[in-house]
A and B are shown apart, each in its own frame.
Chain A
Amino acid sequence: DQQVKQNSPSLSVQEGRISILNCDYTNSMFDYFLWYKKYPAEGPTFLISISSIKDKNEDGRFTVFLNKSAKHLSLHIVPSQPGDSAVYFCAASENGSSNTGKLIFGQGTTLQVKP
């Protein structure tokens, strides 16, 4: 049972345009969400996160939006650059007394930014 889903395996955008990566989740108890970026032959690196008490978090060119009612989050990259070409993973977790630090990851979306 995939609790975190990235339904688009790949996305291609032109340099300078906006990239929008989407992620859906099924567990309404999730309250902390993260995005990671992964280049080939490297480990994932943390990009940006958002708590369920917010609906938007911004860090430079990267903005994450959270729609709790739809159980949907998205990552916007503006403007997109060729160096943003990578696999992007969304992840979710549930805070609380039973927290173990586990993150549930989606399948990933490969972003290609064309010059």
Chain B
Amino acid sequence: DVKVTQSSRYLVKRTGEKVFLECVQDMDHENMFWYRQDPGLGLRLIYFSYDVKMKEKGDIPEGYSVSREKKERFSLILESASTNQTSMYLCASSISTGWYSYEQYFGPGTRLTVT
């Protein structure tokens, strides 16, 4: 079974703090993704990566950065947390064939509250 783990289930941070969210997958997947989920807005893609050290902006990258130094690990960084970044953050991974999409496997999510 594919396992995607996220470093924290719940996190409370103050405005202006730097926040690191970590994601690890154990299935040697090439692709990794960071989403945020907000009521009524669905899953919105923040950043994704298709290879080590490679990253691409998603639909809402502002205020975020990412790091992928190892294939199994994909980190999301909030440089200076703001209250509008309070959300559920979901990490996912998938295999890559360069042609077809496959289902993404999600971690349990991190509920981040910025006060």
Contact-residue size bin, chain B (C-beta under 8 Å from the other chain): 35 or more
Is A69 an interface position by the 8 A CB rule? no
Asked if A100 and B50 make an inter-chain contact with CB atoms under 8 angstroms apart, the answer reads: yes
A-B CB contact pairs (8 Å), 21 listed: A34-B103, A41-B9, A41-B109, A42-B109, A43-B92, A43-B106, A46-B103, A46-B104, A89-B42, A89-B43, A97-B99, A99-B98, A99-B100, A100-B31, A100-B48, A101-B30, A101-B95, A101-B102, A105-B44, A107-B41, A107-B42
Is B101 an interface position by the 8 A CB rule? yes
Q: 9 extra interchain contacts, Cβ-Cβ under 8 A, other than A41-B108, A43-B106, A44-B90?
A: A32-B100, A43-B107, A44-B43, A46-B103, A46-B104, A96-B99, A100-B31, A101-B104, A105-B35
Is B112 an interface position by the 8 A CB rule? no
- The number of residues on chain A lying at the interface, defined by a beta carbon within 8 Å of a beta carbon of chain B, is 27
Asked if A100 and B102 make an inter-chain contact with CB atoms under 8 angstroms apart, the answer reads: no
Task: Tell me the smallest distance from the CB of B12 to a CB of chain A, in Å.
Answer: 15
Most chain A CB neighbours (cut-off 10 Å) among B43, B48, B58, B102:
B43
Total CB contacts across the A-B interface at under 8 A: 74
List CB contacts (< 8 Å) of B29-44 with chain A: 30-31, 33, 35, 40-44
Chain B residue at minimal CB-CB distance from A108: B42
In the bound complex, CA of A46 to CA of B106 (Å): 9
